[in-house]
Structure 1
Amino acid sequence: MSSKDIPTLTSLEIKVLVRELKQTLSGARISNIYQVSDDIFTIKLHIPSVGERELLMWIGKAIFLSSHSVPHPKRPPAICMQLRRHLRGALIVDIEQYDMDRIIDIRLVKSNRRYLLVIEIIREGNIVLVDEETNRIIAAHKYKRMRDRDIIPGGIYRRPPPRGIDPFSKEVLDALSSVINSEKGVFNVLMKYLNVPPELIREACERRGIDPKEKTYIVHDQIYGILDEIRELIKKVDEDPTPLVITTKSGELKLRTLEFMIDKEVSSKEYFPSLNAAIENVYFKRILEKIKASTTARSRKLLEDMYRKIEAQKRALREVEERVQVLFRVARVLSTHLHTIQEIIEKVSEMIMNKKLEEAQVLVRSTLKNILKRDVQVKILPDKKIVQITVNSAKIQLDPKLSAGVNISRIYDEVKSLRKSSERIRHAIEETRKRIEELEKEVIEVEESIEEKVTRRDKAWYERFRWFITSNGFLVIAGRDRKQNEVIVKKYMEPHDIVLHADIYGSPITTIKTGGKNVSSKDIEEAAEFTAVFSRAWREGLACIDVFWVKAEQVTKSPPSGEYLKRGAFMIYGKRNYLRKVKLGIALVVERSGAEVTLRVVPSAKAEAYEDRIVLVPGRIKKSTLIRTVLRYMKKLSKERSLKLFTTADQLHRDLPTGGFHVLECRGIFGGLRIDE
């Protein structure tokens, strides 16, 4: 279904939706704003007593509150940055429909400044941020000048002209009385004068038994009956809406706030507890498909550019290194024949002065060919009085005015300069490789997250960290970075806990939450392996590393007098208990709950507890390759076995250690998985 075939919210649906959103969003705070496609925005919200939700806005189509997450781009465009600057942290104080039109006003406040965020679903749609006190435009998705108003930065925000008359207003009767004898059809007349969706007019005509195409002068006074029916339908929607989605026999989807008599060719109906839920059902999957198409197309184009760039960099590196080899060999050989080269330079200098250029070329060529043991091309540049020799396509210039030693020294200087250039190119290649990995990861994340709608749930406090449960049921948490290490030590570490750290710079603070109970050596060994895996040791490709543990009461953030501790650093007092040569290994395991499956990362010491597992150690398989292969395998398996996978590429990327991988074994449902290095 193309975007043109997707229904646009009507003013009646917006009326019901706004009433639902008003109850939910009042008091919500904006966490962030993303532009996930050219015309799709999402506002990440924290709603008291509900948690995190996303308000999705498809410009010109729809708006709804979602319990599902969509992929967020890492590089926000300018409009997104403007909205973030003003609205991140803002509080939603009200939401309402403007003048029974397809316009939603969201009123916000931040630092005593009041904003109006206008969502225009009319025409091709727009998002406009307005300073509510001055009524001036701060930012807009689309800036444009129109016949009836202008949307320009700093300009006064003016509402679009009303499309018609409110059916409950006093003016509506006068307007209809002026056209009661019109030869135009009833539907066309009412569409011109009333600000109501076309479906409502057709439904009112159907319920009154009047053909919408009938000429108005024939219907005459019955047009007032149609108006009454329209009013009754709106009241019914206000008092007791029946949100549903119907699918016609032709496959067309239609949103409804009531059951309509005009819906005759219906193949299915699906009822929902709220209109927001019905809208989400219609739009969410299509938004994901649209995001996938735009994001993957953009990322793949960037990837193609990066592939071309890295190939050009590699070619440049080869050329530089080849020139370095040639120049270095030439300089070294010439150095061993310094006396001969000095004699040749003196003779050539005299020949050039006497304009015996051909003789000079022959002399240099024969001498260098004999010394270098390879063919040499020689050319005299008379204007510069320079001898240019070419060895293996590498051009070298000798200046007869300078001594042999100085000429050779200049060749060595060029070798040094080229080696520095070589290092710069190598660094540039590494940066390009990193960028390619980022883009490949982005493509994987989008493709995989589009396939599965992962329902948001309230997370436990420890799920922000790395975590697992030991064989004896103890919770183990580890920091993902210095900031989280700091948080664990300051907020979550209790005196009776056990703290572990790998004997290497760049290790997480790992804490076993003992709850005051005795911890076995097996629990400590599992936590030690977990610590080793997520230390720098995995990235360095080490097979094992020492890990020590202490009691939490030995750990403090207070440095000795006169010293300072950086973020993530801490002091340990007393004896350290070492576990020597702790092996680095993890298992990617499957946890089941009925038909729902989740992939978890646990230390390999605990792998035997899981039937379905992949045991991994440091190796050469790229992280992106591992994630892509595993998720595609699981997705295929989920379809075959009617399972629902609750893991995304982004989650796996966060949960797995940084570096390469080698597969030791695949058991259970992973028995058919193959990952080539």
Structure 2
Amino acid sequence: MSNRKISLSSVDYLVLARELSSQLRGAWVDNVYENPDYGYYVFKFRAEGVVKKLIAIPGEAVFLTRYDHPVVSRPSPSLTRLRKLIRNLRVEDVAQHDFDRIIVISLSRSSLNAKLIIEGLKKGVIVLVSGDWTILFTSQKMETGARTLREGEKYAFPPSNIIDPRDVTDAGAFEEFASERVDRFIAGKLGFGSKIMSEICCRAGLDPGSRVENKMQTIIDVARMLVKEAEENPKPKLYYSNGSPVDASGVFLVSMKEFEQKSFETMSEALDEYYAAMGFEARKGVERASRELEKLLKARERMVSEASMLKLKARTLMDNLHLFQTVLDSVKSGKEPPEGVKIVEKNYDKRIVRVLFNDIEYALEMDSSAASNASKMFEEAKKIEKHLSEMDAKILALKEAAPSKILPKKKVEEKKWYEKFRWNISANGSLILAGKDAGTNELLVKKYVGENGIVLHADFVGAPFVTIHDVENPSQEELEEAALMAACYTTKAWEGKYASLDVYWVKGSQLSKQAPPGQYLPKGAFMVHGEKNFIRNVELKLWVGITDGGEIVYGSLGKVKAKCKRYAYVVPGNRDKNKEAARLVDKLLEGRTLPRKEVARLREIVRSIIPGKHCEIHYASPSH
């Protein structure tokens, strides 16, 4: 894993602010947790029975998460105080402050107004202020020449030189910087930072090392373009190098086009995946503990080896007492040592002789007997082992402390309400829903089909009910897409290798649970009254493709072909669909490198799309 920290820009924070406003407005603060060793807070919100968790890392990032993140079980006094202040406050709005890397969450309850401020700038903090900007809580006390962060003081935003390109009416106002280098002007004088500087230069074809001169209007125009994309057409991305994520952005960065990319619906999702892969870096105190642990473990390894060698030598001495005693006597008398023993060194000043026996070197005291030398070696080994016992206690304490990096726990999947059904999105953006079994068929018709809603059903026993959600007058194209689902997901027909089925559609008002006299309607079955509108000979053929952004699209040829360059079609067959799904994804990804987890995810999506248990896949030719 790379140790590089993510670098979010003011454009990224603009995307985040708009997303968070949409997803948190009207929610209530349920609780807040922290992990001080890794410097992050987890804010828990509830909205209409749904729990949403916001990760806030002062000085770094803020995003909604679907993972479980480790937090301390015993809150600190400051966290306890924050909990009392913030619980049961309602989110009124989420906004970006002055196009800076600062998120302001406006909160209220009855007559109480407050703001939760999350600063993403270097040395940023999390602050809760009252309606008159008095600091009620700060994650870190601070006193600089520009501001004082302490409870009871008035809050002041950190000093910033960032320029909002939307407010620039005359690029000539920057004339004094004409002699500045382009990179320094954009990153420093305009306050955009190196990430946006690289993107502006890339889009405008500017040399970062050249002088600004007459390029000011171009720079401002490209900056405005980036802001407009962030506001009107954000395209959150995660960028990978060698399979590991290296950065994220709220809009597509041309300057990062050489990196492998993955698209996301929201910036939060991109950041969530980044931190799931890269983890959270420990704060300095924990880093020092981690380094100390590493040193202790290496020292312990050396000492264990030394103690083992001493005991081995001592046992060898005891097993060969006569031989080693002869060696010591020969050294003192000036005679040659016995065969099998080599004298390496005689140090008469220290009264030590070093001898080699069976490729092991022994340091023996000349004035001690061989038995005494062995005894002293045993004693030295015991001293080392006693020291090891003390060292092990310290190692255990450090191991129980936080590691240098921590990863979130399992992902908590928050299913959308429609994910209980089989679902797809039509070419027009409408949600098409199909029952998966008798229970979901019953639920679909009773809860999600109105009097004037459209319901489709294949003319085949056991077929699912299908509807186009909240669309009373669908286009012919939408009807055909829904009919395709009705036919293909009639499992008995698919496994029976039918080539096509007739599908009919009716209004919701034509369905009832009133069975004819003497008959019983099982769960998931409905009586159809009145005229049926038939769509004849609907082929059991599903097209599946992948977009440049890595999204799986399925349905009719027209829809898939419009969004994907690579695609195939699936029909009933004899091959195992699990193996075929894996082969299909590998084929669609040829020439592209994605992390293994992402490949596995795509395989599971395709597996779930293919009806029944068996299939046959045909890969599209360029003529399609």
TM-score tier by shorter-chain length is 0.3 to 0.5
Larger proportion of helix: 1
TM-score scaled to structure 1, two decimals?
0.42
